[in-house]
């Protein structure tokens, strides 16, 4: 198993030699970024991720980007921001199983206090995003495996994978992305961490880093995750590039298709569970399977 030597997020950003907007502008946008009230010392733990994504888009100038896992849309908007500033004639295609008008409890900082309100992604974007950024974004609602074929997406040059985090889900999203990629693609995967219910580290360590050069970008500069005992190793994002034909040969087309077929059966069960949760809300608190991704991640 290869050992990934972490690089600090600011080091990688500086190495790209891209002029980015001021830190203060990104901090303004963090009003739509997930805040974790239980982490009182640092409730917003990795806002620099937005600066990284802005820099990568400005550097590589992908015509089409696919993001798996929109959430509130902080990363989505940072990529669209870069695409607009760099005058890239392209789009950010972003997939999430929750629609743009789904209501949720949102935590935000106001006068150094953490407040909360019920809102939607659409409302947050209207309040904090530039209209020109939003025009760059193609919102797709649904589970990844069920929407990919229907969405008629173009060949993708850059992937940001931050969807379901259990191993089979992460692998499905990566392999699905691989089949949609252009001849040369760039991948960024979030949440490399040694938590038992997270699979990014397992996929990277055992199936990708042994054949392809992977940068582990450390974006928890305070080491909060390790201090709290959430992880024993570095927490961060994984960045790598590869030729489509080499990656497919490495995983094997037959094995890719088999994994996608098997996982999409699981995805159908997840969709059924989501439907039941909406009809019978009390079920949200009952964990029927280790593949329950419908509960929000908590750090």
Does the pLDDT at position 294 exceed 90? no
Q: What is the pTM of this model?
A: 0.88
Q: Phi/psi zone of residue 170: left (φ > 0), alpha (ψ -120 to 50 degrees), beta?
A: alpha
**Secondary structure of the chain: what % helix, strand, coil (to 5)?**
45, 20, 35
Q: Exposed, middle or buried: residue 107 (CB in 10 Å: 0-12, 13-18, 19+)?
A: middle
pLDDT at position 56: 97
pLDDT at position 17: 95
Kindly report which listed range (26-40, 123-137, 195-209) carries the lowest average pLDDT score.
26-40
Who has greater pLDDT, 43 or 57? 57
CB atoms within 10 A of CB 90: 18
Q: What percent of the chain has pLDDT over 70?
A: 81
Would you say 76 and 57 are in contact if contact means Cβ atoms under 8 Å apart?
Answer: no
Per-residue model confidence as pLDDT tens digits over 196-221 = 888 999 999 999 998 899 999 987 66
Per-residue model confidence as pLDDT tens digits over 46-99 = 788 999 999 999 999 999 999 999 999 999 999 999 999 999 999 999 999 999
Does the pLDDT at position 139 exceed 80? yes
Per-residue model confidence as pLDDT tens digits over 220-267 = 666 666 666 676 677 889 999 999 999 999 999 999 999 999 999 888
Residue 268: both structure tokens together: 């159908």
Q: Cα separation of 267 and 129, whole Å? A: 32
Q: What percent of the chain has pLDDT over 90?
A: 59
Beta bridge partners of 282: none
Does the pLDDT at position 153 exceed 60? yes
Q: Cα separation of 193 and 226, whole Å? A: 10
**Mean pLDDT calculated for residue range 28-43:** 69
* DSSP-based three-state secondary structure for 156: strand
Query: In whole angstroms, how far apart are CA 83 and each of 64, 65, 122, 133, 208?
Result: 10, 10, 20, 8, 28
pLDDT at position 45: 60
**Mean pLDDT calculated for residue range 172-187:** 94
pLDDT at position 13: 93
* DSSP-based three-state secondary structure for 218: strand
State phi, psi for 260 to the nearest 5 degrees. Answer: -60, -40
Beta strands in the chain (DSSP E): 7-8, 64-68, 91-96, 104-110, 113-119, 137-141, 156-161, 181-192, 215-218, 236-243
Q: Cα separation of 95 and 228, whole Å? A: 31
Enumerate domains of the chain plus CATH numbers. Answer: 7-279 (3.40.50.150)
Would you say 32 and 44 are in contact if contact means Cβ atoms under 8 Å apart?
Answer: no
């Amino acid at each position: 198993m290869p050992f990934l030597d972490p690089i600090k997020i600011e080091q990688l950003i500086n190495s790209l030699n891209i002029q980015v907007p001021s830190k203060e502008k990104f901090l303004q946008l963090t009003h739509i970024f997930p805040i974790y009230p239980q982490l009182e010392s640092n409730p917003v733990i990795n806002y620099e991720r937005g600066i990284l994504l802005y820099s990568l888009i400005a550097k590589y100038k992908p015509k089409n980007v696919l993001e798996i896992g929109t959430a509130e849309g902080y990363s989505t908007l940072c990529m669209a921001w870069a695409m607009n500033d760099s005058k890239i004639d392209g789009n950010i295609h972003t997939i999430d199983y929750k629609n743009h008008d789904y209501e949720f409890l949102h935590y935000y900082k106001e006068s150094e206090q953490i407040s909360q309100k019920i809102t939607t992604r659409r409302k947050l974007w209207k309040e904090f995003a530039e209209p020109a950024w939003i025009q760059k974004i193609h919102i797709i609602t649904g589970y990844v495996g069920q929407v990919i074929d229907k969405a008629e997406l173009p060949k993708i040059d850059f992937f940001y994978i931050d969807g379901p985090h259990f191993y089979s889900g992460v692998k499905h999203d990566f392999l699905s992305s691989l089949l949609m990629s252009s001849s040369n693609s760039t991948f960024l995967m979030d949440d490399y961490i040694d938590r038992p219910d997270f699979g990014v580290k397992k996929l990277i360590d055992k199936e990708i880093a042994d054949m392809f050069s992977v940068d582990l970008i450390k974006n928890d500069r305070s080491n909060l995750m390790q201090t709290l005992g959430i992880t024993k190793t570095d927490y961060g994002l994984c960045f790598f590039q590869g030729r489509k034909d080499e990656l497919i040969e490495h995983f094997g087309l037959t094995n890719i298709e088999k994994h996608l077929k098997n996982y999409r059966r699981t995805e159908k069960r997840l969709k059924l569970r989501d439907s039941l949760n909406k009809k019978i809300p009390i079920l949200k608190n009952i964990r029927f399977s280790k593949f329950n991704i419908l509960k929000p991640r908590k750090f």
